[in-house]
Amino acid sequence: DDGRLSIYETATSTLAQTLTQPSHLALKHTCIAFHGAAASDVAPALLALGTDTGSILLWDVQRATLLRTINAHAAKVSDVAFDVTGELLYSCSEDKHVCVWEVRSGAQRAQHKKGKVAISRIMLSPDGKHALLASTSLKLMRLDKWKRVLQLPGHAEATRCVSVSADGLLALSSDGSRHASLWRLDLSNKDADADASAAAVATMPFEAGVAQLAFLHTQASTCVFFVLTADGKLSVWRTPTKALFASGKKTKKQLQLPPKCSLIQVAAEESDTAAGGGGADPQRIQQAILVSEDEILVAHGAQLRPTFSRCKFVAPDGEPIKQIVLPRVSQGLLASEAPSAGGAKRKRADK
């Protein structure tokens, strides 16, 4: 909340650098996007930070340098997203506009207003041809003509988290309630006003509100995604991609997803276990990202000093690990070693 951004080495859970601008106490960061430089790319790795004042901060990560401040919107920036090249930045705001910016110059490339409701999240497809705009509904847009391809019913409240699969054919979304929705994205749809009920694949219920969700970023024959809830429980699914398309037939009936591959969480404190719990665990899992079809990187422990752990949720023989319990982290000031994934308690899935 103080406007500083901390960057960590995930292999050692040590603080690598802190990005701070002189007026950091005058604004709050509201959203973030990262574009990493390829090995052959001379462009730097970039961070875009939206703020509550409507401005966007562009950082060169390697040099820890603030490249420029874009006075982007008249209200709080809700979300930012780089295109696949890193040359363009998309932003949406409570001022109900979606804007496109040139990263090198900070110049505005385009400005769009989408309806009477502000867009809360924006997600670009991996092929760079479409954008998923999320509010209470979800709109799939063609970027070249800024034309709506598909509209999905969405949620009762504004969407808080959304993700698109690596092949661009599936989407996950939630408004932060105890449900998340899995959707098919028909990129060839020619009737933007057609009945979109067939796009709903499944609705997944949880015991707590959804805090984060995402697909594996690389294409694979197996669809891998996770949902993290506010109580720190991380559910991971692995299912054949073909099974989610019902043999290519459109149907209004939602599919029955297979049971989650794995449930990952931090061990409960002994006092909480004895007392029956109560309140959010400060050491719960805060964020996660899939790094492969069988491994996920999680941030847990103290929020001001997180610990990063890699968790394998598939055993060497291919069987899913049903439950993984991460050990609690010492709160001592001298504690610096991250618990290894091998130190976690695991349960194999029943065959």
| pLDDT bracket for residue 120 (50, 70, 90) | very high
Residues above pLDDT 90, as percent of the chain: 60
Q: Is the pLDDT of residue 279 over 90?
A: no
Give the number of other CB atoms < 10 A from CB of residue 45.
Answer: 16
* Distance (Å, whole) CA 217 – CA 81: 15
Query: What is the C-alpha radius of gyration for the chain, rounded to an integer number of angstroms?
Result: 21
223-238: pLDDT as tens digits: 999 999 999 999 999 9
* Distance (Å, whole) CA 147 – CA 164: 18
291-343: pLDDT as tens digits: 999 999 999 998 888 999 999 999 999 899 999 999 998 865 434 444 545 56
* Distance (Å, whole) CA 238 – CA 226: 9
| pLDDT bracket for residue 187 (50, 70, 90) | confident
* Distance (Å, whole) CA 284 – CA 300: 6
Among residues 54, 16, 60, 8, the alpha carbon closest in space to that of 34 is found at 60
Per-residue pLDDT averaged across 5-28, rounded? Answer: 85
So what's the pLDDT on residue 217? Answer: 84
Residue written as token pair 């319990």: 325
Do the bridges between strand 121-124 and strand 138-142 make them parallel or antiparallel, or are there none, so unpaired? unpaired
* Distance (Å, whole) CA 336 – CA 33: 28
So what's the pLDDT on residue 332? Answer: 53
| Per-residue CA distances from 301 to 15, 16, 141 (Å) | 14, 18, 39
- More confident position, 147 or 1: 147
Tokens, residue 273: 């276990």
Do 59 and 45 contact (CB within 8 A), yes or no? Answer: no
Give the number of other CB atoms < 10 A from CB of residue 305.
Answer: 16
So what's the pLDDT on residue 337? Answer: 46
Tokens, residue 151: 């509209």
Order of all β-strands in the sheet with 262-266:
210-215, 222-229, 234-240, 262-266, 321-326, 345-348
**Which class for 310: exposed (0-12), middle (13-18), buried (19 or more C-beta within 10 A)?**
middle
Q: State if pTM tops 0.85.
A: yes
So what's the pLDDT on residue 334? Answer: 38
So what's the pLDDT on residue 195? Answer: 54
| pLDDT bracket for residue 1 (50, 70, 90) | low
Do 4 and 17 contact (CB within 8 A), yes or no? Answer: no
* DSSP per position, 112-137: EE-SSS---EEEE-TTSSEEEEESSS
So what's the pLDDT on residue 116? Answer: 83
* Distance (Å, whole) CA 219 – CA 205: 26
| pLDDT bracket for residue 40 (50, 70, 90) | very low
Do the bridges between strand 321-326 and strand 262-266 make them parallel or antiparallel, or are there none, so unpaired? parallel
So what's the pLDDT on residue 330? Answer: 82
- Provide the mean pLDDT of the chain: 85
124-170: pLDDT as tens digits: 998 889 999 999 999 999 999 999 999 998 899 999 999 999 988 99
46-96: pLDDT as tens digits: 999 999 999 999 999 988 899 999 999 999 999 999 999 999 999 999 999
Q: Is the pLDDT of residue 252 over 60?
A: no
156-169: pLDDT as tens digits: 999 999 999 998 89
